[in-house]
Amino acid sequence: MAEYEFFKLNIEGPIATVTLSRPDRMNAMGVGPWKEIHLIQDEIEANREIRVVIIKADGPHFSVGIDLKDLAGSSSDFVIDNINRLQRTYTRWQEMNAVVIAAVHGLCYGAATEMICACDIRIASEDAKFGMQEVRFGLSPDMGGTQRLPRLIGAGQAKRLILACEEIDAKEAREIGFIEIVVPREELYARAEKLAKKIVNNPPWAVRFGKKAINASLDSSIAGGLLLEQIQSTFCCGTQDQKEAIQSFFEKRKPEFQDK
C-alpha cells in the first residue's frame, strides 16, 4: 500500500477506508489532495477484492472544501487546462464497481459536499453541517455540484443551497434527501462499517449491477433502464454466486460467494 500526504488508506479484505488526514487545514481540498484521490482510486480499482469504500476524516471536521490559498492562485488558464481531469476525480467514486459510503461529521462545505454527492450512500453524525459556498467567492460549483445535487434533493433545494449559500444541519439534510442516515457522533463509523458489511455479504455481481442500474436511471429513459435490467438479469442468472445465494438460503447457512 502506498503512503499518502493528505489521506490514509486502509484495506481490510473487501472494505477499503479512505481517511482525509489534513486536520491542521480542516481537511481542505485542493490540487494536491485531488491528485492523491486519483492515485488512491487507482489503487482501489486495481484490487478486485475491494467491494466497499468508506470515506471519513480525521479531526473535528470532515472538510471545509477547497483551500482558499489554492483558489486565490488559480486562473482561467489553469481551470481550462485542469477542470475536466479534476471533475473526473469525483466521477470515479460514482462509476467504480465498489459501493462508496461517505461518513461525515462536523463541517462539510463546498468541494467536499460536491465529493459526497458522487458517493453512493451518505451517513452523517448529528453534528454535521453542509454548505455550498462557491457563489460567495464569485464562482459556481464546478466539481459536479450543480449536476448531482439537484438529482439528490431537487432543483429548488439545490438553488437555495448554491445561490443563497445556506447551511443545513444533518437533520434537515436527511429531511430533504441529501443524507440517508443520521446517527450520534460516537456511532458514525460503526454504522458505516455495519452497512459496508451488509453490502459485502451479498453476491458481488448483483451489487455491481444494482449500483450501475440505479445510476443509469438518473440519466436514461425508462426503456434504456429496463434494457439494462434485462442484461444484468440474464448475466446474473448464470452465475455460481446466484445459485449459491438460493441454495444457502434453503440450507439455512451463510453463503460462500466466489465472485463467479
59/34 Cα distance (integer angstroms):
19
DSSP count for the chain of H helices, then E strands: 11, 9
pLDDT at 108 over 90: yes
Residue 97 reports pLDDT greater than 90: yes
DSSP lists the bridge partners of residue 12 as 15
Q: CA 184: distance to chain centroid?
A: 20
> Hey, which residues does 20 pair with through a beta bridge?
7, 57
The pLDDT of 215-237, averaged and rounded, is 82
CB 92 within 8 A of CB 178: no
How far is residue 233's CA from residue 136's CA, in Å, rounded to a whole number?
47
Q: What is the mean pLDDT of residues 73-77?
A: 74
What is the predicted pLDDT for the residue at 256? Answer: 81
In terms of pLDDT, which residue wins out, 32 or 243? Answer: 32
The one catalytic residue in 12, 36, 95, 114 is 114
Q: How far is CA 255 from the centre of its chain?
A: 28
Set 134, 166, 175, 256: catalytic member: 134
pLDDT at 22: 94
Q: Give me the mean pLDDT over the 2-14 stretch.
A: 94
Say if CB 131 and CB 178 are below 8 A apart. no
Average pLDDT, integer, range 157-186? 97
What's the pLDDT at 72?
63
Position 194, amino acid: K
Q: Decide which of 60 and 75 is more confident.
A: 60
Grid cell 503512503 in the structure block, residue: 3
CATH fold for the domain made of 204-250 = Lyase 2-enoyl-coa Hydratase; Chain  A, domain 2 (1.10.12)
Which CATH number does 7-200 carry? 3.90.226.10
Answer whether residue 100 shows pLDDT above 80. Answer: yes
More confident residue, 222 or 35: 35
**Identical fold between 7-200 and 204-250:** no
Question: Percent of the chain, pLDDT > 70?
Answer: 98
Q: How does the average pLDDT of the chain come out, rounded? A: 91
Respond yes or no: is residue 175 known to be catalytic: no
pLDDT at 229: 80
Q: Tell me the three state secondary structure of residue 129.
A: strand
Task: State pLDDT tens for residues 239-259.
Answer: 887 877 778 877 788 888 877
For the residues 130-139, what does the mean pLDDT come to? 90
Higher pLDDT, 259 or 157: 157
Query: Which of residues 220 and 15 earns the better pLDDT score?
Result: 15
237 has pLDDT over 90: no
Domain ranges of the chain: 7-200, 204-250
